């Protein structure tokens, strides 16, 4: 039988914990983080290089093509053009955060699978984020509204993406695709 051993404590010890580092408190995919690095770091690099959330992709330095989209307070924005300093007190959702905690896919993710709208996959996270934003603003989007999304796909999946967005709209609204 092992006996518990108590460590001797020195009541005169001068050890004190370091003060919590200054930083920017962020909520990403429902979890709290504190960024203590460069406040001007683009969110994209914080997500990919620090948090290792690699679903959000680099498309260009100016956020063209939609591969770098994330939701900030439920609105699609370019992660490469958004410095971390602008995110204090805001909720960020990446493609990794769209599924439910139990792993159930978001209706748009499931629709992308059902419609085979994935292609090579590089642009897919951005399409999903843009689609979720669109469905929030327009629960039954028109073809024209879908075509106005900023996303580019070089695999030619746009027709299947349109069908997936329409399928998700029907699923969310309770109708049929």
Q: How far apart are CA 113 and CA 97, in angstroms?
A: 17
Q: Give Cβ neighbours of residue 145 (< 8 Å, ≥ 6 apart).
A: 134, 138
Q: How far apart are CA 18 and CA 23, in angstroms?
A: 14
- How much is the pLDDT for 81? 96
Task: Give this prediction's pTM.
Answer: 0.85
Query: What string of pLDDT tens digits covers the 177 residues of the chain?
Result: 556 666 666 666 778 777 777 899 999 999 999 999 999 999 999 999 999 999 999 998 898 999 999 999 999 999 999 999 999 999 999 999 999 999 999 999 999 999 999 989 999 999 999 999 999 999 999 999 999 999 998 888 999 999 999 999 999 986 544
At residue 28, φ and ψ (nearest 5 deg) are: -125, 120
- How much is the pLDDT for 63? 86
Q: Which two tokens stand for residue 55?
A: 């679903």
């Amino acid at each position: 039988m092992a006996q518990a051993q108590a460590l001797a404590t020195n009541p005169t010890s001068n050890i004190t914990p370091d003060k919590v580092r200054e930083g920017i408190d962020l909520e990403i995919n429902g979890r709290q983080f504190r960024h203590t690095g460069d406040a001007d770091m683009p969110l994209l690099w914080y997500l990919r290089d620090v948090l290792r959330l690699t679903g959000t992709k680099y498309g260009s330095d100016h956020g063209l093509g939609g591969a770098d989209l994330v939701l900030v307070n439920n609105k699609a924005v370019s992660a490469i053009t958004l410095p971390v300093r602008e995110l204090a007190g805001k909720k960020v959702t990446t493609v990794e955060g769209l599924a439910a905690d139990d792993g159930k896919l978001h209706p748009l993710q499931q629709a992308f699978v059902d419609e085979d709208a994935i292609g090579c996959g590089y642009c897919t996270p951005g399409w999903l984020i843009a689609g979720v934003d669109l469905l929030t603003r327009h629960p039954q989007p028109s073809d024209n509204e879908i075509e106005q999304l900023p996303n580019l796909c070089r695999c030619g999946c746009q027709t299947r993406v349109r069908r997936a967005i329409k399928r998700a709209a029907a699923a969310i609204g309770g109708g049929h695709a």
